[in-house]
């Protein structure tokens, strides 16, 4: 089995990611996150929000509606230019992205039509009566919700240029070919910063370089192997319609180097199209700010953290996820489930720890199997309550990565994990 098959199988078996609508045969390009997957995604989002909003004085958050007035997408250029080149096989009529496929149809060897532009926006119909329903779009990028609220944020807060607005949310693209597990889906989640600056190439370059480095370092700070990361600058002919400069952060995936975050210089493209300006009262000037954007995909990030953390030796799978990302931080076990004293003490410790951390409980099978089950889902520490606990109130803590065990006083456990998670 190759690595992608292993990851997909693990994701399904342990409740990270399931195929969308599986009991009805699935639905191409849509995925559902299970109990552990939602924890991993929430942890990624929480860490991102902390570093982008809480730890900065110059960034505030927002959460705009997914469906907006369709005029937003006209102004933003998406109705005209948010397209991929599509070819169709003249024999079997299967459709492909022209820039990702060779000269003949891989399914039947047939000839392709000439490429045509295929718009990626997903249409929806909104309204209460059949006759009165209006066509709208699910957002193709979460970004425009920030731009259309630029004036609202300036007027309702104390932000001053330079400042940023951060947002996390779902986006939808009618991708011609979805694939590589969650990598290219039709519904996905983005985490974006729109950072507004004074117009000008010099300032833009400085801010662009800052965010490019900051974003790559953020992945490394959460345990991603630096050697699996690189920057790739876009050629002029591959940049999105709004970007004057674009650099991708790419991960060395089993299916090749793949983009999972983009840093873009959007200049004044968007605010100008929405007729929005900024008034600098102190300097007595008015201008259209430029925007440096960092745009990451949470699904791709979760997938690459899983791939990066995945280790397999003869007898066990270990997910070496950073403790801040691991779904459970700690698992608590009574050494033997049929000893009431051990069970009661273990439950007490479990109840105390779960007020601070997301904690797993397991009293099935033998201790070795329980360790393996936690290794496979990335739980960094397992706490075992044994007979010695009943005598001296110490427990063993077993470390996922080193498998080393140490004895710690039960009443020091909260402090111990707080320090380890710092």
The residue sitting closest to ligand GAP, measured at its beta carbon, is: 297
Least Å distance, CB 290 to ligand GAP, is: 15
Q: Which range, of 107-115, 250-258, 259-267, 278-286, touches ligand GAP by CB under 6 A?
A: 259-267
The correct pick among 145, 296, 334, 380 for binding ligand GAP (CB under 6 A) is 296
| Residues 201, 207, 213, 215, CA torsion sign | negative
- 173: contact with ligand GAP by CB under 6 A: yes
The correct pick among 84, 245, 261, 375 for binding ligand GAP (CB under 6 A) is 261
* Closest to ligand GAP by CB, 188 or 218: 188
- 396: contact with ligand GAP by CB under 6 A: no
Least Å distance, CB 142 to ligand GAP, is: 7
Least Å distance, CB 61 to ligand GAP, is: 16
- 380: contact with ligand GAP by CB under 6 A: no
* Closest to ligand GAP by CB, 65 or 104: 65
Q: Which range, of 18-26, 211-219, 258-266, 310-318, touches ligand GAP by CB under 6 A?
A: 258-266
- 260: contact with ligand GAP by CB under 6 A: yes
The binding track of 208-237 with respect to ligand GAP, each residue x by CB under 6 A or -, is ------------------------------
- 150: contact with ligand GAP by CB under 6 A: no
- 145: contact with ligand GAP by CB under 6 A: no
The correct pick among 39, 84, 175, 386 for binding ligand GAP (CB under 6 A) is 175
* Closest to ligand GAP by CB, 262 or 380: 262
Site residues for ligand GAP per CB under 6 A: 141, 143, 173, 175, 184-185, 188, 190, 192, 259-262, 293, 295-297, 299-300
């Amino acid at each position: 089995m190759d690595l992608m098959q292993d990851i997909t199988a693990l994701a399904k078996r342990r409740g990270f990611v399931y195929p969308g609508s599986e009991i009805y045969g699935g639905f191409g390009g849509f995925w559902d996150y299970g109990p552990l997957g939602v924890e991993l995604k929430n942890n990624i989002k929480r860490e991102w929000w902390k570093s982008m909003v809480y730890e900065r004085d110059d960034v505030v958050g927002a959460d705009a509606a997914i469906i907006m007035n369709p005029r937003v997408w006209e102004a933003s250029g998406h109705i005209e230019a948010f397209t991929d080149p599509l070819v169709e096989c003249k024999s079997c009529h299967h459709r492909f992205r022209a820039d990702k496929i060779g000269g003949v149809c891989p399914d039947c060897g047939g000839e392709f039509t000439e490429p045509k532009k295929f718009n990626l926006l997903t249409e929806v119909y909104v309204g209460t009566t059949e006759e009165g329903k209006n066509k709208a779009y699910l957002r193709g990028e979460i970004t425009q919700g920030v731009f259309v609220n630029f004036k609202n944020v300036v007027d309702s807060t104390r932000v001053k240029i330079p400042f940023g607005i951060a947002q996390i949310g779902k986006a939808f693209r009618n991708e011609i070919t979805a694939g590589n597990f969650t990598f290219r889906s039709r519904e996905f989640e983005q985490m974006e910063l729109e950072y507004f600056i004074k117009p000008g190439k010099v300032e833009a370059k400085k801010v662009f370089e800052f965010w490019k480095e900051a974003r790559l370092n953020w992945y490394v700070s959460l345990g991603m192997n630096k050697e699996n990361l690189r920057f790739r600058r876009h050629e002029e002919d591959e940049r999105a319609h709004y970007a004057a400069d674009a650099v991708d952060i790419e991960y060395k995936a089993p299916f090749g180097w793949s983009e999972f975050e983009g840093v873009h210089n959007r200049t004044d493209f968007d605010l100008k199209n929405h007729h929005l300006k900024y008034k600098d009262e102190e300097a007595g000037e008015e201008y259209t700010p430029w925007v440096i954007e960092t745009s990451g995909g949470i699904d791709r990030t979760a997938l690459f953290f899983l791939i990066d953390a995945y280790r397999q030796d003869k007898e066990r799978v270990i997910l070496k996820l950073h403790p801040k990302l691991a779904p459970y931080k700690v698992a608590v076990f009574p050494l033997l489930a049929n000893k009431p004293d051990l069970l009661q003490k273990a439950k007490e410790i479990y109840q105390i720890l779960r007020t601070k951390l997301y904690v797993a409980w397991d009293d099935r099978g033998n201790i070795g199997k329980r360790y393996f089950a936690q290794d496979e889902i990335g739980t960094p520490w397992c706490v075992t309550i044994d007979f010695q606990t009943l005598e001296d109130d110490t427990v063993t803590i077993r470390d996922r990565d080193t498998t080393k065990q140490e004895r710690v006083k039960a009443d020091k456990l909260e402090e111990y994990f707080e320090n380890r998670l710092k």
